[in-house]
A and B are shown apart, each in its own frame.
Chain A
Amino acid sequence: MAKKSEAAKVVTANRLGDGLVVFLGQEGVWVEDIGKAEIAHANGDADALLQQGLNAEKANHVVEPYLIDVGDDEAAVTPLHIRERIRTLGPSVRLDLGKQAGEHLF
């Protein structure tokens, strides 16, 4: 098993205006689809990514950015922890709501 520090990572936060879950994508753009998130593979990259997130918080675009561990096989980017999987998809008890319902993706 890979050591924890070696897991691929993305930065997530909630968007200031509507509170929805977003991920830091390329060129500092926040995206709703984790599939479009910028992935850090090495520790140093993760730190730099988080710093970008924190800057965006300072600029009042998002709230409480943090790094999460993800598995990224070719097919999909999936958070390793259940909490983050639920954030990424929506409530597991309301499959008609949240991103899993295609609600917020554009």
Chain B
Amino acid sequence: MKKNTDLTRREFIKGAAGIAGATVLASCGLSGDALEAFLQKHFKELSNDEKAEILKRIEDECKAKYGKEVAVVGTPAEEGVLFAYALDISRCIGCRRCVYGCCEENNQSRDPQIHWITVLEMDKSEGVNLEKANSYYEVDKVPQPDKFYFPVACQQCENPPCVKVCPVKATWKEPDGIVVVDYNWCIGCRCCITACPYGARHFNWAEPKIPTDELNPSMHYLGNRPRMKGCVEKCTFCIQRTRGEEKKYPKCVEVCPVGARKFGNLLDPSSEIRYILANKRVFIFKEELNTRPKFFYYYGL
């Protein structure tokens, strides 16, 4: 009996604090959808009904903002799948088709510009030497004879330092190995940006801008739905494509004109990824940091 009263009291206080908080937030100008978004639970704690409601809310927000029908899904990871990626540095020609393909597919801000992929130009005589790498190369034609190219994006680490440092658990590793961010939960402290040794995380310093006709309407909650000012974003192996019904390859794989990019299920012995790991000279970027990337560089030639 006593216990019950206690609970009721606690709940009463919780509720009262909630109302008081909501009043404060409302007085800050937050109301309706924005208020709901603010009070939303962590993505992993949501029930299916709550998820459906939130996805619907985001669809409505997008429609209001861009005047375009969009579909936002929250497809979970498939069992028996661990995604991995391989990039042939002997073949990449540094044309940056992947950079812009990614940008369009994943609704990255055009202004201020955000790119999830950075292509580094390196000297053949230097090998992989980050101190001599240049991502701002401007030449008429690629590849240049004395250079090679080294695209870098999120390495989807098995031991991700960015996840460890997040003070609010707004970023985590999914069962299929994709490291994701709940943009609504992110407080924008940018600890993860400092922790990532690959420069793969990007911050929305200003409200992101995407032209309506370029907005990709097929979206995933943990992936390419439009982000807001003040949150961190990164490559998700095109979660909306790779977890989608058609199990499509990531966009960068499909736009690369030289076929330098490979993707598949690490747990499937017949996947091209496993063939590459078994037969090619594979290289792990900053292996000494023990981040255990699922992104492999290799020499196909």
A complexed with B: no
